[in-house]
Amino acid sequence: MTAERWWAPTGVATAAMATSMTALYATSALAPFLVADLGLSRTAVGAVVTVSFAVAAVVSLIAGHLIDLGGARRGLLAMCVAVLVALLGASAAPGYGWLLVAVAVAGVGQALANPATNVLVSGAVPPQRRGSAIGVKQAGVQLAAFTCGLVLPAVAALADWRVALRVSALVPLATVIAVWWSVPTVARRVAAGSWWRLSAPTGWLAWLVAFSLLLGTGLAAVNTYLPLYATQRLGLGTGTGGALLAAFGVTGLLARVWWGRWADRTAEVTVALAGLAAAAVVGILLVLSADHVWAGLVWIGAVVVGGSATAANALSMLMVLRRGKALGQASGLVSVGFFGGFVVGPTAVGWCADAGGWGAAWLVVAAVFAGTALLAMRVRSASAQPKVAA
């Protein structure tokens, strides 16, 4: 397979992952504007993210099986339509309730993204390049964080947050065109049974789902509250808060690409999961210390978390690609855990911030990442067993 053929599907998968998370990062980057315009509490800001990922977690129960039956192209097109509707609907929402409804639609797209892109990579990228491909396509999530954090606050400052959301709708439109022209209609037909069939993970996959649950909880809190913490507690401007999210995003992007290339040179990726989760604990403690020692530590903490926890998510998806039987279904089950964390994280940490202050909130996030490191060791132990579950 030529480099051009390898990079073409990887590029589409990367754009698709960026598209799937645009609503999340747009909400996070525009959080200061939403608070000012709609009078939202920090818990209410977290609830916007929670609603979207609650839908994603539920839909993920069947999304992977649907992708196994229908193929990557249909799944990617459906994902783009869902995100487009969500962004345009949120930009026109007359109040908080309608904003919640609109953003919830993005959850459908988030649920479809990982199964569809994993199936695309599995069918179009040679085995010796799949680690790099997974790292690059998962970096699309961080590309969305970087772009939203850098562009949308500036647009909102010049116009308003509604205009900024409409600008972000160009992302799913561009991805629709890329998918339509470059991804063939090929049904996988590797799964049997009804489209609504559910199954529970077992063995190493069950532990990986639990790992993803805690990892998602911690990452969701950072994604949602890092700009708000920077502006409310550290006294930084809204543009600086957005730039902080952008720094978090670009670090995660580079880390996912680097760790993906590293994974192509090793047969076992689980060895890195615990170390990356432990590094995320250090990063969160640096973010917390910025309020007591030096505000500049928040930048170092954001870079450390971006370079560790986000890379761990990419490696977990590569593990699914290498070991799962029904790839779409296994990807969907891991996504249930990850998105479940995004359901719990924003609202729970937002409540901690409202009730006990930012210090209590960041300590909870550090504890969550510490638990993630412990689960990573259990994933490694279970994956060493010869039985493969999907």
> What is the structure's pLDDT at 200?
63
In a domain, 190, yes or no: no
If we measure between CA atoms, which residue out of 111, 121, 123, 106 comes closest to residue 64? Answer: 111
Number of domains in the chain: 1
What HEC string does 269-322 produce?
CHHHHHHHHHHHHHHHHHHHHCCCCCCCHHHHHHHHHHHHHHHHHHHHHHHHHH
Dihedral sign from CA coordinates of 4, 6, 11, 16: positive
What is the Cα–Cα distance from 253 to 255, expressed in whole angstroms?
A: 5
In a domain, 189, yes or no: no
What is the Cα–Cα distance from 215 to 312, expressed in whole angstroms?
A: 8
From first to last of its 390 residues, the chain has per-residue pLDDT tens of 455 577 788 999 999 999 998 987 898 788 889 888 888 887 788 788 778 888 998 998 888 888 888 888 999 999 999 999 999 999 998 888 989 999 999 999 999 998 999 889 888 888 888 888 888 898 888 788 778 888 999 999 999 999 999 999 999 999 999 999 888 776 545 544 444 455 666 678 889 999 999 999 999 899 888 988 999 899 988 888 888 988 887 888 889 899 988 988 877 788 889 999 999 999 999 999 999 999 999 999 999 999 999 899 889 988 888 775 667 788 888 989 998 998 888 888 989 998 999 999 999 999 999 999 999 999 888 876 644 434
In a domain, 107, yes or no: yes
> What is the structure's pLDDT at 198?
55
In a domain, 388, yes or no: no
What is the Cα–Cα distance from 49 to 23, expressed in whole angstroms?
A: 9
> What is the structure's pLDDT at 338?
92
In a domain, 222, yes or no: yes
What is the Cα–Cα distance from 59 to 47, expressed in whole angstroms?
A: 18
What HEC string does 89-116 produce?
HHHCCCCHHHHHHHHHHHHHHHHHHHHH
- Report helix, strand or coil for 1: coil
**Domain enclosing residue 90, as ranges:** 3-183+196-383
> What is the structure's pLDDT at 273?
92
> What is the structure's pLDDT at 196?
43
First to last CA, the chain: 29
> What is the structure's pLDDT at 186?
63
Contact 284, 305 (CB under 8 A): yes
> What is the structure's pLDDT at 64?
84
Name the residue with tokens 């629709």.
176
By CB neighbour count within 10 A (0-12 exposed, 13-18 middle, 19+ buried), where does 111 fall? buried
Contact 133, 13 (CB under 8 A): yes
In a domain, 332, yes or no: yes
In a domain, 390, yes or no: no
If we measure between CA atoms, which residue out of 337, 379, 116, 104 comes closest to residue 219? Answer: 337
In a domain, 188, yes or no: no
Look up the CATH number of the domain holding residue 239.
1.20.1250.20
